[in-house]
Amino acid sequence: SVPRWKPLRHAYEKEIVLYAHFQALGYFSTECVYAPHAYRGHARHLLKDLEATRATSVAALGHSGRRLAVAAEVATKTLGAC
């Protein structure tokens, strides 16, 4: 397998959108029709609340998450198309 390369993983979404705007890059945002009912919306809301309380909390979670080891076989659901 080929490792993923994420050059903007430390950048906030707001910064990426501003960069695209000022560089006149084509940027569009659409939301999956199932997104409002997805469980990850609860987690996203929690992260936004944490970010409002402490600005570096999301970045700190990302740094600590990369230190965790993940088992070779992780049970996942098959994703549907939006």
- Evaluate whether residue 39 is within a structural domain: yes
**Identity at 37, one-letter amino acid code:** H
Residue 13 is predicted with a pLDDT of 76
Mutual orientation of helices 40-53 and 57-65 as an angle, nearest 10°?
120
Domain, as residue range, for 37: 31-67
Write out the E strands in the chain: none
Count of structural domains within the chain: 1
Query: Does residue 80 lie in a domain region?
Result: no
21 lies in some domain: no
In a domain, 52, yes or no: yes
- Tens digits of residue pLDDT in 23-73: 998 877 777 777 778 888 888 888 889 889 988 888 888 788 777 766 666
